[in-house]
Amino acid sequence: MTALVKNIIGAKQGPAAAPNPADPKAPTDTGAPHSAIKFLTVDAESAGQRLDNFLFRHLKGVPKTHVYRIIRSGEVRINKGRAQAETRIEVGDVLRLPPIRISPRAEEGAAPPAPAREFPVLLEDDAVLAIDKPAGVAVHGGSGVSFGVIEQLRTARPAAKFLELVHRLDRETSGILLVAKKRSALVALQDQFRERETGKTYLALVEGTWPANKKVLDAPLAKYLLPDGSGAGAGERRVRVVAKDHPDAMRAVTLVRVLARLSLPGDATPLSLLAVTIKTGRTHQIRVHLASAGHPIAGDDKYGESERQRALQKLGLKRMFLHAWRLQFNHPASGDRVALQAGLPPELHALMPPAALEALAQHPVATTHD
């Protein structure tokens, strides 16, 4: 039976209780936002987080370098004791935060807050938010990206007590992305991803004619860095297929089903539209598995041929054709099985010939809403 999930948008945060200075576990806040000593008590929604991540949320606008500095110096205390950035906080822990004084130069150099942005909602309730992520948007800041989906959502929803990514998608990949709205939901959903209890299927357009009998790709993967002198990408992280006895080998299993064979208008090169289901969630798994089989994803600027990518751009494909199409999981609150689907975004849909679109329409998915 499919779940019936109600959309609850913009849930309001309850009024905060007045702090009681006599109670050491009561959150206190005297004076300006970061100008006085604070005591914060960890609640159930925050339990299990790393100390640094917890502080990033509570010291908004404070540079990360400053947060790490006050942790290393021992000015941040947990239950009166020193702690490390990676320390996991627990329910009832009392955190002491020192007065935060930031020099004007540091304030000027601090990254501006992420601009508020909402994304198309596929499902939302008290525990889970599922959005349709566009291509070209990182899921979080880092590695030269100042902000991503999660930072933009937090800015757009200042009353939300908890918003955390359940999993990740490559910046170039569009489609279904899950965000947890409660700590309990995050733990339950990440357990499902780790135990491979979810169903994740992508749409990929690949070069060439994919063999109909090639249905399982079981090849270990390993990360590496491009060497110096390799051009503009020197030092960038890449992934490749390796032998099973490679010291960094991680098992990766990908299932492939051919949905349609086609070519783009104005180009006779054969292409194959695939439904790709991953049984493991390795970095760049689909991209590397398909490329290593001799069929790179159309528009993939990391694992495809650069000359071919330029030709595809002239034909109208200006991004990688990889889309997180379907996702199934057990709802963390009700336990019901949820099945989501995100249709092709307009820029990919417009490139598909009618026969390919008809093939997609022949594979309906059960929905979870009224």
List pLDDT tens digits, range 321-351: 999 999 999 999 999 999 999 999 999 999 9
Name the DSSP letter for residue 118. Answer: -
368: left (phi over 0), alpha (psi -120 to 50) or beta: alpha
17: left (phi over 0), alpha (psi -120 to 50) or beta: beta
Judging by DSSP bridges, how do beta strands 271-278 and 253-262 pair with one another? antiparallel
pLDDT, residue 102, reads 65
Average pLDDT over residues 50-58: 87
Rounded to whole angstroms, the Cα distance separating 307 from 304 reads: 9
Alpha carbons within 13 angstroms on the beta-carbon side of residue 314 total 8
CA angle (315, 316, 319) in 5-degree steps? 120
Rounded to whole angstroms, the Cα distance separating 82 from 86 reads: 12
Please state, for a pLDDT cut of 90, what percent of the chain lies above it.
68
Split at pLDDT 50, 70, 90, the class of 366 is: low
- For residues 357 and 53, the model is more confident at 357
pLDDT single digits (tens) 163-218: 999 999 999 999 999 999 998 999 999 999 999 999 999 999 999 999 989 999 99
Q: pTM higher than 0.85, yes or no?
A: no
Name the DSSP letter for residue 148. Answer: -
Q: Where are the alpha helices (DSSP H) in the chain?
A: 51-58, 64-72, 104-109, 149-156, 183-194, 285-292, 306-314, 346-349, 354-361
Check whether 5 has a pLDDT greater than 80: no
Q: CB-based contacts of 12: which residues, under 8 Å, 6+ apart?
A: 159
194: left (phi over 0), alpha (psi -120 to 50) or beta: alpha
**CATH 1.10.579.10 at 198-361, yes or no:** no
Check whether 21 has a pLDDT greater than 70: no
Query: H or E element: which one contains 221?
Result: strand 221-225
pLDDT, residue 216, reads 97
Q: CB-based contacts of 151: which residues, under 8 Å, 6+ apart?
A: 113, 114, 140, 141
Average pLDDT over residues 292-305: 96
pLDDT, residue 2, reads 41
Helix axis angle for 64-72 and 51-58, nearest 10°, is 130
Strands (E) in 87-152, as ranges, are: 94-97, 121-124, 128-133
pLDDT single digits (tens) 62-112: 888 889 999 999 999 999 999 999 999 999 999 999 998 765 655 555 567
Split at pLDDT 50, 70, 90, the class of 56 is: confident
The residues of the chain that CATH labels 3.30.2350.10 are: 198-361
pLDDT single digits (tens) 125-135: 999 999 999 99
pLDDT, residue 136, reads 96
Q: Is 300 a catalytic residue?
A: no
pLDDT, residue 325, reads 97
Please pick, among 29, 170, 267, 300, the residue that the annotation labels catalytic. 170
The residues of the chain that CATH labels 3.10.290.10 are: 38-98
Name the DSSP letter for residue 76. Answer: S
Check whether 124 has a pLDDT greater than 80: yes
pLDDT, residue 239, reads 97
Rounded to whole angstroms, the Cα distance separating 76 from 86 reads: 13
Average pLDDT over residues 44-68: 85
- For residues 274 and 25, the model is more confident at 274
Split at pLDDT 50, 70, 90, the class of 22 is: very low
- For residues 103 and 291, the model is more confident at 291
> How many C-beta atoms lie closer than 10 Å to residue 263's C-beta?
12
Look up the CATH architecture of domain 38-98.
Answer: Roll (3.10)
Q: What does the block give as tokens for 298?
A: 């159309």
pLDDT, residue 280, reads 93
* Alpha-carbon torsion angle 106, 109, 114, 115, nearest 10: 120
Please state, for a pLDDT cut of 70, what percent of the chain lies above it.
84
DSSP state string for 264-289: -TT----EEEEEEEESS--TTHHHHH
Average pLDDT, the chain: 86
pLDDT single digits (tens) 144-167: 788 999 999 999 999 998 999 999
